[in-house]
């Protein structure tokens, strides 16, 4: 029992990271009904960007956030204009596998450039620091990630639900053709959605480098969890992604601590499966 409180706290922190990683996927899905297999690779690109800028210019890793967001944004837009635009015309299978191709491509491009090694950052305000109150351990990088995750969710939620641009995004999501009759530049909206998705992943990546290693195949680890998270929350629902992220964090940490760490992923996917079997549209989907 004495482990319960610290576990829940760290689970929620972890959950906010998962939520942040899922956010980009939720945006992209929300606007165009396509699951992005290369999602994790966007994260990887964000991580490498942060890693490189931090080491080459020897600056504080947190300062790389805007750069990583920018790179993620551009990568998202490029993916849309060079690939996804065409994929959207095809069936779901081709869409999924097309983004799978993108994933393999980015992954091995990184491998070519950076080699298969693991890279970590050792210097930074947050890195390696934590406070410990009794049995509660709060690590700074995780805390920072959680705070930024909250902010990112706030911004995106506001953007989509409260602004004209958000309405245009929603309209594009609901019916591209009708949206175009309204004079909405749907191509731009979709590109923008990918850009936003990429940017959130850039941010997530930059934060992650504060307590995680970077290597070319890191994407898939987070991608699968992001998939389950977004689907659990209900595709396209920003709120759903957030809550599902927290749930994922709780399952992983509580399940890992009390049931056994080796079952934690099985538990996550099992939960997802059980939830959707009884609620096929996810928790907050329509």
CA distance 115 to 218: 13
Contacts (CB under 8 A) with another protein, residues 168-187:
168, 170-171, 174-175, 177-185
Beta-bridge partner residues of 138 = 131
Select the residue interacting with another protein from 5, 92, 147, 155 (CB under 8 A).
92
Our finding on whether 4 is near another protein (CB under 8 A) is no
- 127 contacts 61 by C-beta, under 8 angstroms: yes
What is the sign, positive or negative, of the torsion defined by CA atoms of 94, 100, 103, 104? negative
- 249 contacts 13 by C-beta, under 8 angstroms: yes
- Judged by CB under 8 A, how many residues of this single chain contact another protein? 97
Contacts (CB under 8 A) with another protein, residues 210-239:
211-213, 215-218, 221-222, 224-225, 227-228, 231, 235
Binding segment (CB under 8 A) for another protein, from list 53-61, 146-154, 165-173, 194-202: 165-173
Our finding on whether 5 is near another protein (CB under 8 A) is no
> Residue 121 Cβ, how far from another protein at the closest point, in Å?
9
CA distance 118 to 159: 36
Cβ proximity to another protein: between 70 and 81 the closer is 81
Contacts (CB under 8 A) with another protein, residues 67-86:
83, 86
Our finding on whether 100 is near another protein (CB under 8 A) is yes
Our finding on whether 286 is near another protein (CB under 8 A) is yes
> Residue 54 Cβ, how far from another protein at the closest point, in Å?
15
Our finding on whether 35 is near another protein (CB under 8 A) is yes
Q: For residue 260, count CB atoms less than 10 angstroms from its CB and return exposed for 0-12, middle for 13-18, buried for 19 or more.
A: exposed
Binding segment (CB under 8 A) for another protein, from list 46-54, 150-158, 239-247, 265-273: 265-273
CA distance 46 to 75: 10
Binding segment (CB under 8 A) for another protein, from list 44-52, 62-70, 125-133, 144-152: 125-133
CA distance 194 to 78: 9
Our finding on whether 91 is near another protein (CB under 8 A) is yes
Please enumerate in sequence order all residues whose Cβ is within 8 A of that of 20, keeping only pairs 6 or more positions apart, or say none.
145, 148, 149, 152, 153, 200, 203, 204, 207, 245
Binding segment (CB under 8 A) for another protein, from list 55-63, 194-202, 238-246, 254-262: 254-262
Our finding on whether 143 is near another protein (CB under 8 A) is no
CA distance 32 to 162: 20
Please enumerate in sequence order all residues whose Cβ is within 8 A of that of 60, keeping only pairs 6 or more positions apart, or say none.
54, 124, 125
> Residue 144 Cβ, how far from another protein at the closest point, in Å?
13
């Amino acid at each position: 029992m004495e482990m319960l409180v610290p576990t829940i706290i760290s689970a929620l922190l972890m959950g906010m990271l998962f939520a942040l990683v899922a956010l980009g996927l939720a945006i992209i899905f929300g606007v165009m009904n396509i699951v992005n297999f290369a999602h994790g690779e966007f994260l990887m690109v964000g991580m490498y960007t942060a890693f490189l800028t931090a080491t080459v210019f020897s600056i504080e890793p947190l300062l790389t956030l805007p750069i990583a967001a920018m790179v993620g944004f551009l990568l998202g837009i490029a993916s849309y204009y060079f690939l996804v635009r065409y994929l959207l015309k095809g069936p779901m299978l081709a869409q999924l596998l097309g983004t799978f191709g993108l994933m393999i491509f980015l992954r091995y491009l990184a491998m070519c450039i950076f080699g298969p090694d693991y890279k970590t950052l050792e210097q930074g305000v947050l890195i390696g620091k934590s406070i410990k109150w009794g049995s509660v351990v709060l690590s700074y990088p995780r805390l920072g990630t959680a705070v930024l995750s909250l902010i990112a969710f706030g911004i995106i939620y506001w953007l989509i639900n409260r602004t004209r641009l958000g309405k245009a995004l929603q309209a594009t999501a609901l019916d591209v053709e009708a949206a175009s009759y309204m004079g909405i530049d749907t191509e731009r909206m979709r590109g923008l959605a990918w850009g936003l998705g990429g940017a959130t992943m850039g941010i997530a990546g930059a934060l992650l480098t504060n307590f995680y290693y970077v290597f070319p195949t890191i994407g898939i680890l987070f991608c699968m969890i992001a998939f389950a998270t977004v689907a659990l929350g209900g595709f396209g629902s920003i709120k759903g992604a957030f809550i599902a992220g927290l749930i994922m964090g709780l399952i992983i940490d509580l399940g890992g601590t009390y049931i056994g760490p080796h079952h934690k992923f099985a538990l996550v996917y099992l939960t997802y499966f059980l939830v959707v079997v009884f609620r096929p549209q996810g928790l907050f989907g329509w």
